[in-house]
Structure 1
Amino acid sequence: MKQAAVTLYGFGLSLTAVGRLLGSCAQSVMQWVCAYGDRNCPKPEVEPMPIIEIDEMWHYLQRKTNRVWI
């Protein structure tokens, strides 16, 4: 039943619809889908992110009364 729930959810049915079809509740289906994802889909390694420094700047469009943030 758990495998059927994961398959139906993978085909695009909502958690509630899968639960109704299989005679279970949506929370159980969500737990089964999450457990399947944890077992079979490893999380990617976290790479260090570069640090970017951003400063605020004004830009005028056509006249000085039209200030726009960049």
Structure 2
Amino acid sequence: MLLRLLEEAGYISDGLIHKTSSLYFRGDCGMYILKYYEFLTSNVDLAKISHDLMSFFQLKLALQLLQGYW
């Protein structure tokens, strides 16, 4: 779903990132939303989302987007 949203916003097409200067996350709010969505749809316990893991989740998402995982 995130990939489709990024494509519709013009950030990604053909697997390439185009608007890199304005594509970034401020703070953890966006990551919390993404993890809640991911965990809810995967039936994973929401208690596993913690502030201590946000940096890891952000790095993991960045790598997945750059590798075209989504």
Task: Tell me the TM-score range normalised by the shorter chain.
Answer: under 0.3
Between Structure 1 and Structure 2, which shows a larger proportion of helix residues?
Answer: 2
**Given the two structures, how large is their TM-score scaled by the length of structure 2?**
0.26
**Given the two structures, how large is their TM-score scaled by the length of structure 1?**
0.26
Q: Higher relative contact order at CA 8 Å, sep ≥6: structure 1 or structure 2?
A: 2
